Amino acid sequence: MPGGGFLCCRRFSRTKGTRVSKGTTAVTLIPGDGIGPEVAESARRIVDATGVKIDWEVHEAGAEVFKKGLATGVPQDTIASIERTRCALKGPLETPVGFGEKSANVTLRKLFETYANVRPVRETPGVPTPYSGRGLDLVVVRENVEDLYAGIEHMQTPDVAQTLKLISRKGCEKVIRLAFALAEAEGRTNVACATKANIMKMTEGTMKRTFEEIAPEHPDIDAWHVIVDNCAHQLVKKPEQFEMIVTTNMNGDILSDLTSALVGGLGFAPSANLGTDVAIFEAVHGSAPKYAGKDVINPTAMILSAVLMLRHIGELEAASSVENAVMATLASGVRTRDVIGDDGSVGTTAYTEAVIGNLGKSVPEWTAREVKRLAMPVPREETAFVIPESVELVGVDVFFQTEEPPATVGEAAQRIAEGTALELKMVECRGTQVWPKTSARLDPTDVMRARFITRGSVITSEDILELLGRFGGRFNWVHVEKLRMFDGEPSFSRAQGEI
């Protein structure tokens, strides 16, 4: 497989619910939307041709489910099947853009806590790219359930939208430990952690700090941190310097698409969504509805995702056979239109049949990476990983709707706080202090934030409620955040211009 293969040593790999009969493995198959049924059928045909006995439980998710009025896009019978098989091969699902329902893909990842998205890429024979001959072979390990993909959004006003970016120590630790375990299983020598911790010092900073705490446990691996925008730059400039990149959810989504382009595009990009109890394998590309039913799409990404699945269930010989057959097919010049255009290309069906015909063959220019068994790290059971010795409530941020000028707002907020345990420290708009006035030019929206801090002693929630009662009589507040000190350190950031 691109980037080397891996086998998850699951605690349930041979338990009741995975095997349906001797020598047969139950796998949930979700064909998906658009081109999904075509690439899913290609992968299924090839897996079946190896002789591996799979009991395919076919279930739906995605667009057709949304049309039936189910907001999650994932029916209960599909969920029940995955709970039973604990292993799924999934075609691409259509995601509504900018309206309504949540992504069915994200729903599946979160329902089954598949906390790591593993996306390997490797230079492939017969697929020319500007990077051919440079030996690209790397894996992006993306945190898969937190960050902006938690999907917690609000319209503070009709003009101002808010997304909450949630990063937990637990989530970072799980995906980072998996990345190091995978690197060791695949014989990789370096792991880079890509974050935007220079700007988001608390959220992205949590990933960086966790990585730096865990890295010394793996002294044989060169562990290093890189700012994510520089990581993107370096991936285009000198991608061969990377062997594995572990990163947060949004960063990983972007970087892994970039790395796919380096080796030929999303048509060659498999992935595994790994959790402690469930694994979901899928092609990285989308549903491409304009190509649906035309028998022209490249099924390689889905086939290689099935290779990952075969390794996961312990079918190592079959996995290698399929992988080698794909490489032999591509090296022989049998390629789809996304690689060479219309002239001389073959369709999905013909490509699938060529791969089946090449089972048992290999090519000298492809040397599979030697892979050891991957034991999924066992997550810690506790909810909170960091327990401070002291917690002090010292203030509150109040977000509110207003179209009044900052000077008027500041004076009014000062009067509101008179006689309470809190005093107004500053007012900001879009992260920049606007009261007391700074030299910053302001192009305001209709949401501002007033920061109130204690007048000297630790305050209580009741003090905040008293302030909010007064504040609500003058302004329409829409969001509140407590300001606390953990072991004497502030748990909040400053606005631009705030002293």
**Mean pLDDT throughout 378-385?**
88
Task: Name which residue leads in pLDDT, 142 or 444.
Answer: 142
Taking the CB of residue 284, how many other CB atoms lie within 10 A of it?
22
**Mean pLDDT throughout 434-460?**
90
pLDDT score for 263: 94
Q: Quick check: helix, strand or coil at residue 63?
A: helix
pLDDT in tens, 317-364: 899 899 999 999 999 999 999 888 888 899 999 999 999 999 999 898
pLDDT higher than threshold 60 for residue 16:
no
pLDDT in tens, 48-57: 999 999 999 9
Q: Is 3 exposed, middle or buried (0-12, 13-18, 19+ CB in 10 A)?
A: buried
pLDDT higher than threshold 90 for residue 10:
no
Q: Are 386 and 202 in contact (CB under 8 A)?
A: no
Output the CA–CA distances (angstroms, integers) from residue 86 to 19, 171, 455, in the order listed: 10, 21, 55
pLDDT score for 149: 87
**Mean pLDDT throughout 464-479?**
96
The end-to-end CA distance of the chain, in Å, is 53
Task: Name which residue leads in pLDDT, 48 or 381.
Answer: 48
pLDDT score for 72: 86
- For residue 183, how far is the Cα from the chain centroid? 18
pLDDT higher than threshold 70 for residue 17:
no
pLDDT range class, residue 19, cuts 50, 70, 90: low
Say if strands 7-9 and 19-21 run parallel, antiparallel, or are unpaired: unpaired
Nearest CA to 348 out of 294, 284, 274, 277 is that of 294
Q: What share of the chain in percent tops pLDDT 90?
A: 76
The single-letter code of the amino acid at 304 is L
Task: Name which residue leads in pLDDT, 18 or 479.
Answer: 479
Q: Quick check: helix, strand or coil at residue 104?
A: helix
Per-residue DSSP letter, 127: -
Q: How far apart are the C-alpha atoms of 329 and 361, rounded to whole Å?
A: 9
Q: How far apart are the C-alpha atoms of 229 and 222, rounded to whole Å?
A: 21
Q: What are the backbone angles phi and psi of residue 23, rounded to the nearest 5°?
A: 80, 0
pLDDT score for 491: 94
pLDDT higher than threshold 70 for residue 96:
no
Torsion of CA 340, 345, 349, 355, to 10 degrees: -70
Q: Is 383 exposed, middle or buried (0-12, 13-18, 19+ CB in 10 A)?
A: exposed
Nearest CA to 33 out of 320, 386, 286, 410 is that of 286
Domains and CATH numbers, the chain: 1-110+273-368 (3.40.718.10), 137-262 (3.40.718.10), 391-490 (3.30.70.1570)
Catalytic center residues: 149, 196, 229, 253
Q: How far apart are the C-alpha atoms of 28 and 75, rounded to whole Å?
A: 13
